[in-house]
Amino acid sequence: MPNFTYTDWILIETQFDPEQLQSKETVFTIGNGYLGTRGSFEEGYPHASPATFINGVYDDVPVVYTELVNCPDWLPLIVIVNGDRFRLDQGEILHYERQLDLRQGLLTRALRWRSPSGNTIDISFERFASLADPHVLALRCHLTPVNFEGLIEVQASINGYPENQGFNHWEGLDQGKIDQGIWLQRRTRTSRIELGMAAKVTISGSEASLQVNTAPGYPTLSTSFVAKAQQTVTVEKIVTVFTSREIETPVKAAQEKLAHLPDYTTLLKANEQAWNQVWQQSDILIEGDSTATFAVRYNLFQLLIAAPWNDDRVSIPAKTLSGFGYRGHIFWDTEIFMQPLFLFTQPAIARNLLSYRWHTLAGARRKAIHYGYKGAMFAWESAETGDEVTPRWAIGSDFYGEDVRIWCRDREIHINADIPYAIWNYWQATADDEWMQKYGAEVILDAAIFWSSRVEFNPEREKYEIRGVIGADEYHELVHNNAFTNRMAQWHLEKAIAVYDWLVHKFPERATELEAKLQLTSQETSHWQDIIAKILFLYDPSTELIEQFDGFFQSEDINLADYEPRDRSMQAILGVDQINKYQVIKQPDILMLLYLMRESADFPYNEKALQTNWDYYAPRTDITYGSSLGPSVQAILASDLGKSTEAYEQFMRALMVDLEDNRGNTRDGIHGASAGGIWQAVIFGFGGIQLTENGPVANPHLPPGWTRLKFKLHWQGKWHDFDLKGLGDEGAGGVGEAGGAGEELITNAPCPMPNAPCPIPNIQGFIFDLDGVLTDTAELHYLAWKKLADEEGIPFNREANEALRGVSRRASLMLIIGNKPYSEAQIQEMMERKNRYYIELIQNMTPKDLLPGAIALLDELRQAGIKIGIGSASKNAQTVLERLGIVDKVDAIADGYSVQEPKPAPDLFLYAAKQLGIKPEQSVVVEDATAGIDAALAAGMWAVGLGPVERVGAAHIVLPSLAGIKWADLRDQFSKISANIFKVSNSFQ
């Protein structure tokens, strides 16, 4: 980092560099979600770019339609020492240190300055935007003369003439003075948003009186006092701000708020407490990598201070609230890259972000009408109303050069599916049916209506096409049948049908209301079904290689290594027109599609497809200077593929994009999408989080050197704690834990194994398989497989079904189909079909379906303080337990979603033990299948086999069933076995 050092929580700048003034202003941004203030200096500099942005305060501007407005500057605090104005570019800096404390959003600066006249003074500043009260801003300055006694003057002002890079959006209305303070009233020129700001100053450590100067647009509180050497004078400036977006009389509100505020110290404490609560939910702890420890938190901080905590009419701009880049416009960056952090740690914010899209539906509908389409067509860049605000032209720096047409506004339409994607994920993660039926469903359905009017049917191909688009890769500005766009549209229509069916069954009145409002007919939904079945998707089913768009493979290939070293994008090197002819990609497009389909394993995602498409597209991606959205996604996918070195390299590229200004544009604002991608890379990439019916589960592959990764996730109303351990410098890896810090790692203990010494067993928990142990779902599985096999014309009977006992769904299907040639997509569909049949059958289960002895043993174990877990390969374990009425008797569930390797691998039972908080040697597994017994023994656990010896004979204890079985009898048998093992072991010593 340039001139930076850092601790786990604090960024420290140790040298003032005027050349980096604007980029450092971005880096040291503070905020509270209502507003953001760049890290400009209180004393002001000619080449500085100070700004305070209030979310939602937009105003019109020529060429670029509208922009987030730079609001009046609350920072100015001028210090004059014996006639010399304090400035870092005059006099001499003897000491300098600036710190950003992420824990409480506190920016401080401490320095020793020798004035041109030779007076040395210690000056410190600190400021914060209160997270406890978003309308409160505070600044404190300590002044301590070192070697002189003399006159110090202080001027604290509000600057009512802020500019957006040369354009002033404000017109003056009024200003004045109040008790110990000043106030300013301003209004934006076109949008007519009124702003009221008030400020007061208190001074301690010296006798000083305040004077008010109300120069037009620049109200100022000033004071002067005689300062003595080594005595500190403290100046505190507290500011309040409101706009007419949230209250009718913002000036009055600012004045009243200011009059009733407590002192600076009390405000600072409240702010710290508010931040503590936020970090309790959103923090990520990394041990073993000091750079990542701080930088991950820094990226999270920058998103948290830009998030709308209390307003569902705004979203997060691409450059957050930290800079002038992209004019404060909202892109797909928010839904796809930033939202997951909030979805899983601050779900109320995630809801606000999506509600913004509902509030802006009218603008999306106007855009659709403009282009001649139906439904809602979301803007590529949007602001307050949802109307398209992408500039039509980019004005170049070359005075004689041609202006560049920006085609994204017309052609980059995948955002219309990206927003529903985020809404669907919010619904899955929160089960917020009320919000979904009131708001989310309307967005999904109206945006789906757009696709049905946008696709074209090609009778020669007998396929629906989407022509004339820009995909996620913006280097190619006019393509047909972009795979990302076509598949996302197809996915969107699939989910729209599901949402519509859900509404009809659960909220029929709302369904009827939307049918009328959106003119949604059965013909429309039938059309959706037809599009889903016939949309064109260009890929080779034998290799799983996807063609990015029609004709991409016929474009000229390129070797990016031939252009190294370089410090700019391939588009800048080749030119806008030429780059369209090459197979060079701005950011992941096909790989982005695979990432979005990864969590649910929807087509076209599978491991083979990922490997094939990575090998083709990753080398053709301008990952260094293309788009900042790319590195985090590639880090996750590289991690999936076991490319730990490359994963970490791309992760660091994303992680340090602003702290090291490695793209040279940090001055324009924080790279918000990259910051959101960092969270996803840590959680879904290195943490390996997978979302299951029972909540999130970790399958970690931590980078080399990471010894610990700790975080929490919110899923369907519950918090899940993860404390993952790595292998330090020895290599990547890790063990997933759900629980608090300080727990032991899972290790395969030899205690129950028949060739090792063992004391009297200290059994703490039982892990039961479901099928054939607590209940008999084998018949239901058989009926479901039989129905599928009959439909496919595959011979299948009860004898063949025996081979499926204890085997995963995929492995079972492979045994059934044998050598028949099926594509991966067909295999996925058949597994889902079988599961659907099985779920239909288990709906008829009741507690009467518990096997003899099961409930009695469960109750006895619980009374004895023994923990109970389920270890089942089924992905429907939770549903079965609910139907059997024994959920309250179970402490942990490990099912088909919990681990990747099925039985006979030990992973499932090791996971269950860890969930129970017990060691493997303290665990008893009860199983009825060979694979399950082998898995238990491999895990170093005690095994009880139910069934014939030829199937479960390797178990420590073999029983015909659980009927009549008592815990006391089992405990005695395990003690005898343990004693015998111990004797045998000693006889060989």
Question: How far is it between the farthest Cα atoms of the chain?
Answer: 100
Is the CB of residue 220 less than 8 Å from the CB of residue 182?
Answer: yes
Residue 686: C-alpha distances to residues 124, 439, 709 (Å): 40, 34, 9
Rounded to an integer, what distance in angstroms lies between the CA atom of residue 898 and that of residue 869? 13
CA torsion angle 780 783 787 790 (round to 10): 150
Q: Which value, in Å, is the radius of gyration of the alpha carbons in the chain? A: 32
- Which among 683, 697, 600, 688 has a CA at the least distance from the CA of 892? 697
Is the CB of residue 426 less than 8 Å from the CB of residue 348?
Answer: no
Rounded to an integer, what distance in angstroms lies between the CA atom of residue 932 and that of residue 807? 9
Convert 617-652 to b/e letters by CB count within 10 Å (16 or more is b). Answer: bbebbbbbbbbbbbbbbbbbbbbbbebbebbbbbbb
- The number of beta carbons lying within 10 Å of the beta carbon of residue 249 is 13
- Which DSSP string corresponds to 392-407? SEE--S-TTSPPEE--
Residues involved in catalysis: 474
- Which among 622, 617, 491 has a CA at the least distance from the CA of 548? 617
Residue 410: C-alpha distances to residues 402, 452, 472 (Å): 20, 17, 14
- Which DSSP string corresponds to 919-984? -GGGEEEEESSHHHHHHHHHTT-EEEEES-HHHHTTSSEEES-STT--HHHHHHHHHHHHHHHHHH
Which sign, positive or negative, has the C-alpha torsion 295, 296, 299, 303?
negative
Q: Tokens for 399, please give them.
A: 């005075």
Rounded to an integer, what distance in angstroms lies between the CA atom of residue 855 and that of residue 965? 11
Is the CB of residue 102 less than 8 Å from the CB of residue 297?
Answer: yes
Is the CB of residue 318 less than 8 Å from the CB of residue 332?
Answer: no
Rounded to an integer, what distance in angstroms lies between the CA atom of residue 362 and that of residue 357? 10
Rounded to an integer, what distance in angstroms lies between the CA atom of residue 168 and that of residue 188? 9
E strand or H helix that includes residue 426: helix 415-430
CA 751 vs. chain centroid, Å, equals 42
* Beta bridge pairs of residue 393: 405
Which sign, positive or negative, has the C-alpha torsion 563, 569, 575, 578?
positive
- The number of beta carbons lying within 10 Å of the beta carbon of residue 289 is 21
Vertex 584: Cα angle to 579 and 589 (nearest 5): 115
Is the CB of residue 170 less than 8 Å from the CB of residue 163?
Answer: no
- Which among 196, 198, 111 has a CA at the least distance from the CA of 156? 198
Reduced to 3 states, what is the DSSP secondary structure of residue 589? coil
957: left (phi over 0), alpha (psi -120 to 50) or beta: beta
Residue for token pair 């797909």: 332
Rounded to an integer, what distance in angstroms lies between the CA atom of residue 469 and that of residue 4? 43
Q: Which residues have C-beta within 8 Å of that of residue 315, sequence separation ≥ 6?
A: 308, 330, 334, 353, 356, 357
Q: Tokens for 270, please give them.
A: 């409240």
Reduced to 3 states, what is the DSSP secondary structure of residue 666? helix
Pairing state of beta strands 10-13 and 92-101? antiparallel
Vertex 272: Cα angle to 268 and 277 (nearest 5): 150
